[in-house]
Amino acid sequence: MSLTSKLSFNVNGKSHDIELDNRTTLLDALREHLHLTGTKKGCDHGQCGACTVIVEGRRINSCLTLALMHDGDKVTTIEGLGQPGNLHPMQAAFVKHDGFQCGYCTPGQICSGVTVLEEIKANIPSHATSDLTDTIQATPAEIRERMSGNICRCGAYSNILDAITEVAGTRV
């Protein structure tokens, strides 16, 4: 029985055809095979959010999913959101509001922040949503709840909240 399989997916707008050990996680495929090391490995157990990437418009812990499960998918990592000189608004807001210290959690925080605002825009409720009949606003409570899977050991939470809030266009 073959222990490897061929995989074809699109990462940051570029098509990749690779052959991988069937047990390779999406995180390891990105970091070790495509050399996109912006996505970080923290716990490798789905507990810290450092490995968050965007797959087909939804955030995902890339350490918890096998690369082969994403054959044909469109993946966006921190490298695909923006580049130096042409930052994504969320990246620019993190810089402006000093939303990081060591920076290890930051790629995951930014990928989550981008999708959190999409979720709110789409009126998808969270545990913090009090009125399911009203339009959901990007309040601090909503943002904190939705970002709760992204741990920051440096404790930059208040600045991260400021950055996401600015992009959402809402005052804290």
Q: Is residue 37 part of the contact set for ligand FES (CB under 6 A)?
A: no
Shortest approach of ligand FES to residue 95 CB, angstroms? 13
- Taking CB under 6 A as the binding criterion, the range among 3-11, 66-74, 90-98, 146-154 that sits at the site for ligand FES is 146-154
Q: 83 with 19: CB under 8 angstroms? A: no
Residue 80's CB: how many other CB atoms inside 10 A?
20
CB of 96 to ligand FES, least distance (A): 15
Q: Is 49 in the site for ligand FES (CB under 6 A)?
A: yes
Phi, psi of 78, deg, nearest 5: -55, -30
Q: Does 59 bind ligand FES (CB under 6 A)?
A: no
98 in contact with ligand FES (CB under 6 A): no
SS3 79: helix
Q: Dihedral of CA 63/65/69/70: which sign?
A: negative
Residue 10: strand pairing partners: 15, 74
**69 makes contact with ligand FES (CB under 6 A):** no
Residues that bind ligand FES (CB under 6 A): 41-44, 46-51, 61, 63, 100-106, 152-154, 156
